[in-house]
Amino acid sequence: MAQPADLRMTRIPLNHGAGRMPALGFGTLIPDPAVTITATRDALEAGFRHFDCAERYRNEREVGAALQAGLAGGGVAREDIFVTTKLWNSNHRPARVEPAFEASLQRLGLKYLDLYFIHTPFAFQPGDDQDPRDQNGNVIYDQGVTLLDTWRAMETLVDHGKCRAIGLSDVGLDELKPIYEAARIKPSVVQVESHPYLPETELLEFCKERGIVLLAFAPLGHGMKPGLLEDPVISAIAARVGKTPAQVLLAWAIQRGTALLATPKSAARARENFDISALPQDALDEINRIQTRQRLNTVVKTGVPGFIPKGG
Ligand SMILES: NC(=O)c1ccc[n+]([C@@H]2O[C@H](COP(=O)([O-])OP(=O)(O)OC[C@H]3O[C@@H](n4cnc5c(N)ncnc54)[C@H](OP(=O)(O)O)[C@@H]3O)[C@@H](O)[C@H]2O)c1
Protein backbone atom coordinates (compact mmCIF):
# COMPACT_ATOMS: atom_id res chain seq x y z
CA MET A 1 0.00 0.00 0.00
CA ALA A 2 1.38 3.45 -0.91
CA GLN A 3 2.12 5.53 2.18
CA PRO A 4 3.30 9.11 2.46
CA ALA A 5 6.98 9.37 3.35
CA ASP A 6 6.08 10.81 6.74
CA LEU A 7 3.68 8.52 8.61
CA ARG A 8 3.08 11.19 11.24
CA MET A 9 1.26 13.34 8.71
CA THR A 10 -1.07 10.62 7.41
CA ARG A 11 -4.63 11.89 7.12
CA ILE A 12 -7.30 9.40 6.08
CA PRO A 13 -10.23 10.73 3.99
CA LEU A 14 -13.64 10.16 5.57
CA ASN A 15 -16.64 9.06 3.52
CA HIS A 16 -19.32 11.51 2.31
CA GLY A 17 -16.82 14.38 2.27
CA ALA A 18 -16.48 14.77 6.03
CA GLY A 19 -12.81 15.84 5.83
CA ARG A 20 -9.69 13.86 6.68
CA MET A 21 -8.81 12.28 9.99
CA PRO A 22 -5.21 12.35 11.25
CA ALA A 23 -4.26 8.68 11.54
CA LEU A 24 -2.17 9.23 14.65
CA GLY A 25 -4.63 10.00 17.43
CA PHE A 26 -4.31 10.83 21.10
CA GLY A 27 -6.72 9.05 23.45
CA THR A 28 -7.90 10.78 26.61
CA LEU A 29 -8.88 7.83 28.79
CA ILE A 30 -6.88 9.27 31.71
CA PRO A 31 -8.45 9.02 35.19
CA ASP A 32 -6.50 11.88 36.78
CA PRO A 33 -7.80 15.38 35.83
CA ALA A 34 -4.43 17.12 36.28
CA VAL A 35 -2.65 14.49 34.19
CA THR A 36 -5.38 14.84 31.55
CA ILE A 37 -4.49 18.52 31.18
CA THR A 38 -0.72 18.08 31.00
CA ALA A 39 -0.90 15.00 28.77
CA THR A 40 -3.28 16.71 26.31
CA ARG A 41 -1.05 19.79 26.19
CA ASP A 42 2.06 17.65 25.69
CA ALA A 43 0.37 15.67 22.92
CA LEU A 44 -0.60 18.85 21.07
CA GLU A 45 2.95 20.18 21.44
CA ALA A 46 4.43 16.91 20.21
CA GLY A 47 2.36 17.19 17.04
CA PHE A 48 -0.81 15.14 17.68
CA ARG A 49 -3.79 16.71 15.90
CA HIS A 50 -6.47 14.08 16.60
CA PHE A 51 -8.02 13.94 20.09
CA ASP A 52 -10.39 11.17 21.14
CA CYS A 53 -12.67 11.95 24.09
CA ALA A 54 -15.77 10.46 25.73
CA GLU A 55 -18.49 11.66 28.02
CA ARG A 56 -17.78 8.49 30.04
CA TYR A 57 -14.16 9.50 30.71
CA ARG A 58 -15.51 12.41 32.79
CA ASN A 59 -12.69 14.70 31.72
CA GLU A 60 -14.00 16.54 28.66
CA ARG A 61 -13.67 19.83 30.55
CA GLU A 62 -9.97 19.23 31.21
CA VAL A 63 -9.30 18.12 27.62
CA GLY A 64 -11.20 21.15 26.34
CA ALA A 65 -9.27 23.54 28.60
CA ALA A 66 -5.93 22.10 27.49
CA LEU A 67 -6.93 22.29 23.83
CA GLN A 68 -8.16 25.89 24.12
CA ALA A 69 -4.93 26.93 25.85
CA GLY A 70 -2.82 25.03 23.33
CA LEU A 71 -4.62 26.50 20.34
CA ALA A 72 -4.45 30.04 21.71
CA GLY A 73 -0.77 29.80 22.61
CA GLY A 74 0.61 27.64 19.83
CA GLY A 75 -0.72 29.17 16.65
CA VAL A 76 -2.80 26.08 15.87
CA ALA A 77 -6.25 26.69 14.34
CA ARG A 78 -9.39 24.78 15.35
CA GLU A 79 -9.63 23.50 11.76
CA ASP A 80 -6.18 21.96 12.13
CA ILE A 81 -7.26 19.62 14.91
CA PHE A 82 -9.73 16.75 14.76
CA VAL A 83 -11.81 16.24 17.89
CA THR A 84 -14.14 13.34 18.63
CA THR A 85 -16.21 12.36 21.61
CA LYS A 86 -18.69 9.60 22.40
CA LEU A 87 -22.31 9.15 23.43
CA TRP A 88 -22.54 7.04 26.57
CA ASN A 89 -24.73 3.93 26.98
CA SER A 90 -27.25 5.65 29.27
CA ASN A 91 -28.05 8.20 26.53
CA HIS A 92 -29.11 5.84 23.72
CA ARG A 93 -32.77 6.91 23.74
CA PRO A 94 -33.19 9.23 20.73
CA ALA A 95 -34.53 12.09 22.88
CA ARG A 96 -31.33 12.01 24.95
CA VAL A 97 -28.86 12.05 22.04
CA GLU A 98 -28.84 15.73 21.12
CA PRO A 99 -28.75 16.96 24.76
CA ALA A 100 -25.85 14.59 25.48
CA PHE A 101 -24.03 15.82 22.37
CA GLU A 102 -24.58 19.48 23.32
CA ALA A 103 -23.38 18.85 26.88
CA SER A 104 -20.16 17.26 25.57
CA LEU A 105 -19.65 20.16 23.15
CA GLN A 106 -20.09 22.64 25.97
CA ARG A 107 -17.68 20.82 28.29
CA LEU A 108 -15.09 20.69 25.50
CA GLY A 109 -15.66 24.39 24.76
CA LEU A 110 -16.12 23.71 21.04
CA LYS A 111 -18.62 24.88 18.44
CA TYR A 112 -18.58 21.67 16.39
CA LEU A 113 -17.21 18.14 16.55
CA ASP A 114 -15.33 16.43 13.75
CA LEU A 115 -16.76 13.04 14.71
CA TYR A 116 -19.23 11.68 17.26
CA PHE A 117 -19.32 8.00 18.23
CA ILE A 118 -21.87 5.76 19.86
CA HIS A 119 -19.49 4.50 22.57
CA THR A 120 -20.81 0.93 22.71
CA PRO A 121 -23.76 -0.91 21.13
CA PHE A 122 -25.19 -1.59 24.62
CA ALA A 123 -28.04 0.62 25.84
CA PHE A 124 -28.17 1.07 29.61
CA GLN A 125 -31.16 2.28 31.60
CA PRO A 126 -31.68 5.88 30.41
CA GLY A 127 -30.69 8.55 32.90
CA ASP A 128 -27.79 10.43 34.40
CA ASP A 129 -26.37 7.41 36.25
CA GLN A 130 -23.64 6.18 33.90
CA ASP A 131 -23.42 2.82 35.61
CA PRO A 132 -26.97 1.75 36.55
CA ARG A 133 -27.03 -1.45 38.62
CA ASP A 134 -29.76 -3.55 40.20
CA GLN A 135 -29.63 -4.68 43.83
CA ASN A 136 -27.46 -7.64 42.85
CA GLY A 137 -24.92 -5.40 41.19
CA ASN A 138 -25.91 -6.35 37.65
CA VAL A 139 -26.01 -3.73 34.91
CA ILE A 140 -29.54 -2.58 34.03
CA TYR A 141 -29.85 -2.67 30.25
CA ASP A 142 -32.50 -0.80 28.26
CA GLN A 143 -34.61 -3.08 26.02
CA GLY A 144 -36.68 -0.13 24.81
CA VAL A 145 -34.27 1.22 22.20
CA THR A 146 -32.35 -0.33 19.30
CA LEU A 147 -28.94 0.64 17.98
CA LEU A 148 -30.65 1.78 14.78
CA ASP A 149 -32.95 4.10 16.77
CA THR A 150 -29.85 5.71 18.26
CA TRP A 151 -28.13 5.84 14.88
CA ARG A 152 -31.09 7.75 13.39
CA ALA A 153 -30.68 10.39 16.11
CA MET A 154 -26.95 10.56 15.34
CA GLU A 155 -27.79 11.20 11.67
CA THR A 156 -29.92 14.14 12.72
CA LEU A 157 -26.88 15.67 14.46
CA VAL A 158 -25.01 15.63 11.15
CA ASP A 159 -28.05 17.23 9.46
CA HIS A 160 -27.93 20.01 12.06
CA GLY A 161 -24.32 20.75 11.08
CA LYS A 162 -22.60 20.58 14.45
CA CYS A 163 -20.98 17.26 13.83
CA ARG A 164 -19.24 16.37 10.57
CA ALA A 165 -19.21 12.60 10.82
CA ILE A 166 -20.58 9.80 12.99
CA GLY A 167 -19.22 6.42 13.97
CA LEU A 168 -19.58 3.28 16.02
CA SER A 169 -17.30 1.93 18.71
CA ASP A 170 -16.87 -1.52 20.27
CA VAL A 171 -18.83 -3.24 17.51
CA GLY A 172 -18.18 -6.36 15.49
CA LEU A 173 -19.38 -7.12 11.98
CA ASP A 174 -22.68 -8.44 13.38
CA GLU A 175 -23.55 -4.98 14.66
CA LEU A 176 -21.86 -2.93 11.96
CA LYS A 177 -23.42 -4.61 8.91
CA PRO A 178 -27.10 -3.92 9.71
CA ILE A 179 -26.37 -0.31 10.65
CA TYR A 180 -24.30 0.17 7.51
CA GLU A 181 -27.08 -1.24 5.36
CA ALA A 182 -29.90 0.75 6.98
CA ALA A 183 -28.03 4.01 7.46
CA ARG A 184 -28.91 7.15 5.53
CA ILE A 185 -25.56 8.57 6.69
CA LYS A 186 -23.03 5.73 6.76
CA PRO A 187 -20.63 5.24 9.67
CA SER A 188 -17.37 7.04 8.82
CA VAL A 189 -15.23 5.39 11.49
CA VAL A 190 -15.35 2.24 13.60
CA GLN A 191 -13.30 2.33 16.82
CA VAL A 192 -12.29 -1.07 18.18
CA GLU A 193 -9.47 -2.73 20.08
CA SER A 194 -6.81 -3.72 17.56
CA HIS A 195 -3.11 -4.66 17.67
CA PRO A 196 -0.99 -7.56 16.38
CA TYR A 197 -2.65 -9.93 18.89
CA LEU A 198 -6.13 -8.83 17.71
CA PRO A 199 -5.71 -7.69 14.10
CA GLU A 200 -9.46 -7.68 13.30
CA THR A 201 -8.59 -8.53 9.70
CA GLU A 202 -12.13 -9.38 8.56
CA LEU A 203 -13.56 -6.20 10.05
CA LEU A 204 -10.72 -4.16 8.51
CA GLU A 205 -11.39 -5.62 5.05
CA PHE A 206 -15.12 -4.89 5.34
CA CYS A 207 -14.33 -1.31 6.37
CA LYS A 208 -11.76 -0.72 3.64
CA GLU A 209 -14.15 -1.94 0.95
CA ARG A 210 -16.75 0.57 2.10
CA GLY A 211 -14.56 3.58 2.84
CA ILE A 212 -14.96 3.24 6.62
CA VAL A 213 -11.88 4.00 8.74
CA LEU A 214 -10.92 1.45 11.39
CA LEU A 215 -9.59 3.36 14.40
CA ALA A 216 -7.54 1.06 16.64
CA PHE A 217 -7.58 1.50 20.39
CA ALA A 218 -5.04 -0.21 22.64
CA PRO A 219 -2.41 -0.28 19.83
CA LEU A 220 0.21 -0.97 22.54
CA GLY A 221 -1.96 -3.63 24.16
CA HIS A 222 -3.00 -1.24 26.96
CA GLY A 223 0.70 -1.18 27.94
CA MET A 224 0.25 -4.50 29.77
CA LYS A 225 3.33 -6.50 30.68
CA PRO A 226 4.04 -9.14 29.72
CA GLY A 227 2.47 -8.21 26.43
CA LEU A 228 3.02 -6.63 23.06
CA LEU A 229 5.67 -4.18 24.22
CA GLU A 230 7.86 -7.15 25.18
CA ASP A 231 6.92 -9.46 22.32
CA PRO A 232 10.15 -10.96 20.91
CA VAL A 233 9.19 -10.26 17.28
CA ILE A 234 8.39 -6.61 18.06
CA SER A 235 11.54 -6.18 20.18
CA ALA A 236 13.78 -7.69 17.50
CA ILE A 237 12.34 -5.40 14.82
CA ALA A 238 12.72 -2.40 17.14
CA ALA A 239 16.41 -3.21 17.68
CA ARG A 240 16.92 -3.73 13.94
CA VAL A 241 15.33 -0.47 12.79
CA GLY A 242 16.54 1.65 15.71
CA LYS A 243 13.08 2.43 17.10
CA THR A 244 11.30 1.54 20.34
CA PRO A 245 8.75 -1.32 20.51
CA ALA A 246 5.97 1.27 20.91
CA GLN A 247 7.07 3.07 17.75
CA VAL A 248 7.13 -0.23 15.84
CA LEU A 249 3.57 -1.08 16.95
CA LEU A 250 2.22 2.35 16.04
CA ALA A 251 3.92 2.35 12.62
CA TRP A 252 2.52 -1.13 11.85
CA ALA A 253 -1.00 0.08 12.66
CA ILE A 254 -0.80 3.04 10.30
CA GLN A 255 0.95 1.16 7.51
CA ARG A 256 -1.82 -1.48 7.43
CA GLY A 257 -4.30 1.31 6.83
CA THR A 258 -5.86 1.89 10.24
CA ALA A 259 -5.88 5.01 12.38
CA LEU A 260 -4.89 4.59 16.04
CA LEU A 261 -5.21 6.04 19.51
CA ALA A 262 -2.23 6.19 21.82
CA THR A 263 -2.28 7.64 25.34
CA PRO A 264 1.17 8.95 26.26
CA LYS A 265 1.05 10.65 29.67
CA SER A 266 4.35 12.52 29.64
CA ALA A 267 6.00 14.92 27.19
CA ALA A 268 8.80 12.43 26.50
CA ARG A 269 6.32 9.63 25.73
CA ALA A 270 4.25 11.97 23.55
CA ARG A 271 7.35 12.80 21.49
CA GLU A 272 8.29 9.12 21.32
CA ASN A 273 4.80 8.04 20.22
CA PHE A 274 4.64 10.79 17.59
CA ASP A 275 8.11 10.14 16.20
CA ILE A 276 7.28 7.13 14.07
CA SER A 277 8.55 6.20 10.65
CA ALA A 278 7.69 3.57 8.08
CA LEU A 279 8.84 0.00 8.65
CA PRO A 280 10.28 -2.08 5.81
CA GLN A 281 7.93 -4.63 4.23
CA ASP A 282 9.76 -7.62 5.77
CA ALA A 283 9.11 -6.21 9.26
CA LEU A 284 5.42 -5.73 8.47
CA ASP A 285 5.26 -9.32 7.20
CA GLU A 286 6.90 -10.63 10.38
CA ILE A 287 4.36 -8.80 12.55
CA ASN A 288 1.51 -10.09 10.40
CA ARG A 289 2.75 -13.64 11.03
CA ILE A 290 2.52 -13.34 14.84
CA GLN A 291 0.15 -16.11 15.95
CA THR A 292 -0.76 -14.95 19.49
CA ARG A 293 -4.42 -13.96 19.77
CA GLN A 294 -5.65 -11.98 22.76
CA ARG A 295 -8.50 -9.55 23.44
CA LEU A 296 -7.66 -7.35 26.40
CA ASN A 297 -10.78 -5.26 26.84
CA THR A 298 -14.10 -6.97 27.55
CA VAL A 299 -16.16 -3.83 26.87
CA VAL A 300 -17.44 -5.43 23.63
CA LYS A 301 -19.16 -8.17 25.64
CA THR A 302 -21.04 -6.09 28.20
CA GLY A 303 -20.70 -2.38 27.42
CA VAL A 304 -18.98 -1.96 30.77
CA PRO A 305 -15.60 -0.28 30.30
CA GLY A 306 -12.67 -2.35 31.47
CA PHE A 307 -10.34 0.49 32.32
CA ILE A 308 -12.40 3.05 34.22
CA PRO A 309 -12.25 2.93 38.03
CA LYS A 310 -15.55 1.90 39.65
CA GLY A 311 -17.62 4.81 40.89
CA GLY A 312 -15.84 7.04 38.37
N1 LIG B 1 -13.90 2.67 22.60
C2 LIG B 1 -13.53 2.12 23.71
O3 LIG B 1 -14.29 1.41 24.36
C4 LIG B 1 -12.14 2.36 24.22
C5 LIG B 1 -11.60 1.51 25.18
C6 LIG B 1 -10.29 1.76 25.63
C7 LIG B 1 -9.57 2.82 25.11
N8 LIG B 1 -10.14 3.66 24.18
C9 LIG B 1 -9.42 4.83 23.63
O10 LIG B 1 -8.16 4.41 23.16
C11 LIG B 1 -7.13 5.16 23.80
C12 LIG B 1 -5.90 4.31 23.83
O13 LIG B 1 -6.09 3.17 24.68
P14 LIG B 1 -4.96 2.72 25.63
O15 LIG B 1 -4.51 3.92 26.37
O16 LIG B 1 -5.36 1.55 26.40
O17 LIG B 1 -3.86 2.26 24.59
P18 LIG B 1 -2.39 1.83 24.62
O19 LIG B 1 -1.60 2.92 23.97
O20 LIG B 1 -2.37 0.47 24.06
O21 LIG B 1 -1.93 1.69 26.15
C22 LIG B 1 -1.58 2.77 26.96
C23 LIG B 1 -0.56 2.28 27.93
O24 LIG B 1 0.66 2.18 27.24
C25 LIG B 1 1.69 2.83 27.95
N26 LIG B 1 2.51 3.55 26.99
C27 LIG B 1 2.18 4.60 26.23
N28 LIG B 1 3.21 4.96 25.44
C29 LIG B 1 4.21 4.09 25.71
C30 LIG B 1 5.52 3.94 25.22
N31 LIG B 1 5.99 4.77 24.28
N32 LIG B 1 6.28 2.94 25.73
C33 LIG B 1 5.82 2.11 26.67
N34 LIG B 1 4.57 2.20 27.17
C35 LIG B 1 3.78 3.19 26.70
C36 LIG B 1 1.02 3.76 28.89
O37 LIG B 1 1.79 3.77 30.04
P38 LIG B 1 1.84 5.02 31.07
O39 LIG B 1 0.50 5.03 31.72
O40 LIG B 1 2.97 4.67 31.97
O41 LIG B 1 2.11 6.23 30.22
C42 LIG B 1 -0.33 3.13 29.14
O43 LIG B 1 -0.25 2.26 30.25
C44 LIG B 1 -7.75 5.61 25.12
O45 LIG B 1 -7.15 6.75 25.67
C46 LIG B 1 -9.16 5.91 24.67
O47 LIG B 1 -9.21 7.18 24.02
C48 LIG B 1 -11.40 3.42 23.73
Q: Whose CA is nearest to atom 48 of ligand 1?
A: 217
pLDDT of residue 210: 97
Give CA–CA dist 168/151, Å, rounded: 9
Q: Is 217 in the pocket of ligand 1 (CB under 6 A)?
A: yes
- Which residues partner with 193 through β-bridges? 217
Task: Report the alpha-carbon distance of residue 214 to residue 300 in Å, rounded.
Answer: 15
Question: 273 near 266, Cβ under 8 Å?
Answer: no
> What pLDDT shows up at residue 5?
63
DSSP bridge partners of 22: 11
Tens of pLDDT along 148-195?
Answer: 999 999 999 999 999 999 999 999 999 999 999 999 999 999 999 999
CA 26 / ligand 1 centre spacing (Å): 9
Question: Measured from the CA of 30, which atom of ligand 1 is nearest?
Answer: 45
Q: Is the CB of 245 under 6 A from ligand 1?
A: no
Q: Return the pLDDT at 312.
A: 35
Strand partners, 27: 52
- Cβ–ligand 1 distance for 38 under 6 Å, the answer no
Q: Is the CB of 21 under 6 A from ligand 1?
A: no
Query: What residue's CA is closest to ligand 1, atom 10?
Result: 217
Q: Is 197 a catalytic residue?
A: no
Sequential pLDDT tens for the chain (312 residues) = 555 569 999 999 999 888 999 999 999 999 999 999 999 999 999 999 999 999 999 999 999 999 999 989 878 999 999 999 999 999 999 999 999 999 999 999 999 999 999 999 999 999 999 999 999 999 999 999 999 999 999 999 999 999 999 999 999 999 999 999 999 999 999 999 999 999 999 999 999 999 999 999 999 999 998 999 999 999 999 999 999 999 999 999 999 999 999 999 999 999 999 999 999 999 999 999 999 999 999 999 999 987 654 443
What is the C-alpha separation between 125 and 140, in angstroms, rounded? 6
Which of 19, 4, 27 has its CA nearest to residue 220? 27
Which of 57, 116, 180, 197 is labelled catalytic?
57
Quick one: 183 exposed, middle or buried, by C-beta within 10 A (0-12, 13-18, 19+)? Answer: middle
Atom of ligand 1 nearest to the CA of 247: 31
Q: What does the pLDDT read at residue 1?
A: 52
Spatial neighbors of 119 by CB under 8 A, at least 6 apart, are: 54, 55, 56, 86, 87, 88, 89, 169, 170
Q: Which helix (H) or strand (E) holds 85?
A: strand 82-87
Predicted confidence at residue 307, as pLDDT, reads 63
Of 87, 248, 261, 294, which is best to mutate to test ligand 1, by the most ligand atoms within 8 angstroms of its C-beta? 261
Contacts of 173 (CB under 8 A, 6+ apart): 202, 203, 206
Q: Kindly report the protein residue whose alpha carbon is nearest to atom 45 of ligand 1.
A: 27
The rounded Å distance from CA 114 to ligand 1 centre is: 22
Give distance in angstroms: CA of 161 to centre of ligand 1: 31
